[in-house]
Amino acid sequence: MKIDKPTMMAASVGGASSVFAHLGSVIAGAMFAWAILQQFLPQDLRSYVQKYSQRFFRYVYPYIQITFNEYGRERLMRSEAYSAIENYLSSRSSSQAKRLKADLVKSNQSLVLSMDDHEEVSDQYNGVKIWWACGTRGSKVQSSSFHGATVNESGFYKLTFHKMHRDLILEQYLNHVLRQGKEIRFKNQQRKLYTNNGWFWTHVVFEHPATFDTLAMDPIEKQEIIDDLTTFSNNEDFYKRIGRAWKRGYLLFGPPGTGKSTMIAAMANLLNYDIYDLELTAVRDNTSLRRLLIETSSKSIIVIEDIDCSLDLTGQRKKKKKAEEVKDGEATNPEKRVEKDPEGEKASRVTLSGLLNFIDGLWSSCGGERLLVFTTNHIKKLDPALIRKGRMDKHVELSYCRSEAFKVLAKNYLLIDAHHLFDDIGKLLNEVDLTPADVAEHLMPKNASKNVDVCLKSLVGALEEAKEAKLKGEENSEEVKAETKDMVFASSESAESD
């Protein structure tokens, strides 16, 4: 009989009485000795003895063991449970095990450690102690081929716990391990940025460095968004309970260069989500749109940038005539037709109703844990149905750079928290509208030298210029107003005299 090392750990079962613990260690010791003794028995006798001794120990041994194999019988795919356990144990392995295995993840950028064969680590769950051991079956078969050795090994993890905790382990702990393991694996994976080429997705590795720390905006509003996002991603049960699909819509609006796209990257980096950047004009019709939706994975952000330009979604309901001219087998309401692209045949026949269905139709609930983000420079151009709460739950305005946002940029770009020019810059920023993109441009290193004074003075100069232009503009418009007033007054006077 083969006895694994972890059975020796039975001596200190968490929550078990000391009598149990002592008994456990005695039995474990006896099993170990018995296993060695069996090696000296003849083969026939050994298997006979093994069978009955196993039955005997099963009655007296107070621990339960569960084995998780790396591969199933067909050895086709690596078991998901095995990978999840490997990830779950990685942090415990690096702190407890003496022999470790290392593997590269995230496109060879970071190292993940797992315990080596015959190592063992312990874990605690609700005050109960659990042991994990690791091993391999099979062997490396040496071959003379070009590929060297053929690996015929399969790993396994063995979980040991006291039988008095059976329900807790089987009903809660294992789910906890699998969920956490998948979460860790997800974090270790490289993020992907997808784009649609017609009706299918292609992707590249997503490596945008933006985070909420580097995003310049009002700190209170920023924190509110971070809280909203983390609450969303941690509340699967809440969405289930209230009967809502686990998704949330964000509408980011504001002038160009205020950080809408940057915020999407920060969202993806905060939540470790993939991004699906949907080019709506490349989608042929509503059916293709639905297909694209089905093919997105959970834990992702589906983005439609510049939604007001993607399709003519404004006033579609009024454009009856145009709508009737175009045939669309999909649209139930022809009044909701949208623009044809100039190439005629390749026209996008996605309708507003198709898009509304995409956002919150029955198909939109498949997969779960998805954010839908629209960006626009012109919120007023959008159909109210498209952005009503429930579809776009949170409307976030990204606006011009004010003093608080400037401090974030100064910290990121120049690594400074204070400077004697900060007050002047703060005042000027509150008087004129400069986008964070414009401000950031002045803070870029000049001539390869990162001179703080040079950068800030150049910003002050730009702000003063903008202020002057603004004042001039106001003066001009006052003059125009006065002239118009005079003209109106003169014409009313002449009308009276007539």
**Site residues (vs ligand ATP, CB under 6 A):** 215-217, 256-262, 377, 398, 436-437, 440
Shortest spacing between CB 305 and Mg ion, in angstroms: 6
- Strand, helix or coil for residue 329: coil
Output 97 or 263, the one with its CB closest to ligand ATP. Answer: 263
Distance CA 237, CA 245 (A): 11
Cβ closer to ligand ATP: 216 or 311?
A: 216
Which residues are at the interface with Mg ion (CB under 5 A)? Answer: 260-261
Shortest approach of ligand ATP to residue 420 CB, angstroms?
Answer: 24
Nearer to ligand ATP, 184 or 216 (CB): 216
We find the least distance from the C-beta atom of residue 193 to ligand ATP, in angstroms, to be 15
The three-state secondary structure class of 283 is: coil
- The option from ligand ATP, Mg ion, none interacting with 243 (CB < 5 to 8 A, set by class) reads none
Round to whole Å and give the CA distance between 37 and 235: 55
State how far the Cα of 31 lies from the Cα of 43, in Å rounded to an integer: 19
Alpha helices, DSSP H only, in 337-451? 352-360, 384-387, 403-414, 422-431, 436-443
How far is CA 28 from each of CA 2, 11, 12, 130, 288, rounded to the nearest angstrom? 12, 8, 12, 16, 62
Q: Report the residue number, 140 or 378, with the smaller CB distance to ligand ATP.
A: 378
Q: How far apart are CA 339 and CA 445, in angstroms?
A: 44
Judged by CB, which is closer to ligand ATP: 115, or 210? 210
Of the pair 13, 429, the CB lying nearest ligand ATP is at 429
Q: Which is nearer to ligand ATP, 21 or 440 (CB)?
A: 440
Find the shortest distance in angstroms from Cβ 249 to Mg ion.
18
For the CB of residue 374, give the shortest distance to Mg ion in the complex, in Å. Answer: 11
Q: What are phi and psi of 150, to 5 degrees?
A: -90, 125
Q: How far is the CB of 306 from ligand ATP (least distance, A)?
A: 7
**Helices and strands (H, E) in the chain, number of each type:** 17, 15
452 binds, among Mg ion, ligand ATP, none (CB under 5 to 8 A by kind): none
Whichever of 262 and 357 has its CB closer to ligand ATP, that residue is: 262
Tell me if residue 159 falls in helix, strand or coil: strand
CB distance 22 to 62 below 8 Å? no
367 binds, among Mg ion, ligand ATP, none (CB under 5 to 8 A by kind): none
Q: At what angle do helices 422-431 and 403-414 cross, to 10 degrees?
A: 130
262 binds, among Mg ion, ligand ATP, none (CB under 5 to 8 A by kind): ligand ATP
- Token output for 19: 């009598």
**156 or 374: CB nearest ligand ATP:** 374
440's contact among Mg ion, ligand ATP, none, with CB below 5 to 8 A by partner kind, is: ligand ATP
- β partners of residue 374: 251, 304
Any idea how long the chain is?
Answer: 498
∠ Cα 426 270 391 (to 5°): 90
Distance CA 241, CA 108 (A): 41
Q: Name the minimum Å distance from CB 209 to ligand ATP.
A: 10
DSSP 147: T
- Kindly tell me which of 135 and 436 has the beta carbon lying closer to ligand ATP: 436
Burial annotation 44-77 (CB, 10 A radius, 16+ → b, else e): eeeeebbeebeeebeeebbbeeeebbbbeeeeee
Q: Shortest approach of Mg ion to residue 224 CB, angstroms? A: 21
Plot region of 82 (φ>0 → left; ψ -120 to 50 → alpha; else → beta): alpha
Min CB(275)–ligand ATP separation in Å: 14
Nearest distance, CB of residue 337 and ligand ATP, angstroms: 27
Could you tell which of ligand ATP, Mg ion, none binds residue 359, using a CB distance below 5 to 8 A set by kind?
A: none
> Between 133 and 440, whose beta carbon lies closer to ligand ATP?
440
Task: Identify what 1 binds: ligand ATP, Mg ion, none; CB under 5 to 8 Å per kind.
Answer: none
Judged by beta carbon distances under 5 to 8 A according to partner kind, the member of Mg ion, ligand ATP, none in contact with residue 437 is: ligand ATP
* Nearest distance from C-beta of residue 280 to ligand ATP, angstroms: 15
Q: Of ligand ATP, Mg ion, none, which one does residue 181 interact with (CB within 5 to 8 Å by kind)?
A: none
Query: Which residue of this chain has its Cβ atom nearest to ligand ATP in the complex?
Result: 259
Tracing tokens 């099963």 back to the chain, one arrives at 58
Whole-angstrom distance, CA of residue 375 vs CA of residue 395: 10
In the chain the first and final C-alpha atoms are separated, in Å, by 121
Continuous H helices in 242-349: 260-271, 286-294, 307-310, 320-325
**Residue 215 touches which of Mg ion, ligand ATP, none (Cβ within 5-8 Å per kind):** ligand ATP
Interaction partner, residue 258 (ligand ATP, Mg ion, none; CB < 5-8 Å by kind): ligand ATP
Closest CA to 372 of 282, 210, 252: 252
